[in-house]
Chains A and B, each alone.
Chain A
Amino acid sequence: GEDVEQSLFLSVREGDSSVINCTYTDSSSTYLYWYKQEPGAGLQLLTYIFSNMDMKQDQRLTVLLNKKDKHLSLRIADTQTGDSAIYFCAESKEGSYIPTFGRGTSLIVHP
């Protein structure tokens, strides 16, 4: 399997909460990231969490980390049509140069 896995698609209604899930295989992962890619644009860093944290909240975004299960999630509260994009999970290790990216989850927000 891949080192970082995500489901490919998620469809939600505007105003609902979205939860995008990610699993990773390397227990030595130290930093975990969520990036957002809008159509025709590059990846934009949304938020990141260190492996010694369980949760991080930033306005409408909540990141939850279950280190035991190697599971990361991104919750977007009150999802808007502008949140439609591809969301990439990534992980890296202390002293490592390069994060490993998942293949991205396409979030579709419909009225």
Chain B
Amino acid sequence: DTAVSQTPKYLVTQMGNDKSIKCEQNLGHDTMYWYKQDSKKFLKIMFSYNNKELIINETVPNRFSPKSPDKAHLNLHINSLELGDSAVYFCASSRSAGTSYGYTFGSGTRLTVV
């Protein structure tokens, strides 16, 4: 009964490969997010979807493409992986965009590009 679940938890892959990370939330939230956490723990917003509509698209290489088939799912596809993409990627959800109630985070996907 995990609220926000991400798969896989760990991903090790070679440079140049294409990979996807999946995220699902069972909280009935309208808004979902992808964050990147670097080695110094800095959290940076990448994308946000509200009811399957893209509402936030920060300065992220276009090798990163989010897809939201329905409001409970937000997947992240990364093409032509580079060493600098190594990080922990967190999915999160909130009741709505602009909410004051805070986010619920998944447990993260540690991506290592070799």
A interface residues with partner B (beta carbon < 8 Å) = 30-31, 33, 35, 40-45, 48, 50, 86, 88, 92, 94-99, 101, 103-104
Report the number of A-B residue pairs with Cβ-Cβ less than 8 Å. 53
> A92 and B41: CB pair below 8 A?
no
Determine if B59 is an interface residue (Cβ-Cβ < 8 Å).
Answer: no
| A42 CB contact (under 8 Å) in B31, B40, B90 | B90
Complex Cα gap A40–B107 (Å): 7
Interface residues on B, range: 20 to 34
Q: Mark B77-114, 1 if CB is under 8 A from A, else 0.
A: 00000000000001010000110111111111000000
Q: A48 vs B103: C-alpha distance in the bound complex, in angstroms?
A: 11
Q: Is the CB of B56 within 8 A of A97?
A: yes
State whether the Cβ of B27 lies closer than 8 Å to any Cβ in chain A.
no
Residues 1-13 of B, flagged 1 when their CB comes within 8 A of A and 0 if not, give 0001000000000
B104 and A45 form a contact (CB under 8 A) = yes
Contacts of A88 in B (CB 8 A): 43
Q: Which residue in A35, A44, A50 is a CB contact (below 8 Å) of B100? A: A50
In the bound complex, how far is the Cα of B40 from the Cα of A45, in angstroms?
20
Contact assessment for A48 and B102 in the assembled complex, using a CB-CB cutoff below 8 Å: yes
Which residue of the partner chain, among A30, A33, A50, A103, contacts B102 with CB atoms under 8 Å? A33
Q: Could you list 15 A-B pairs, sorted by A, with CB under 8 Å?
A: A30-B100, A41-B108, A42-B92, A42-B106, A42-B107, A43-B92, A45-B103, A48-B101, A50-B100, A86-B41, A88-B43, A96-B98, A98-B48, A99-B103, A101-B42
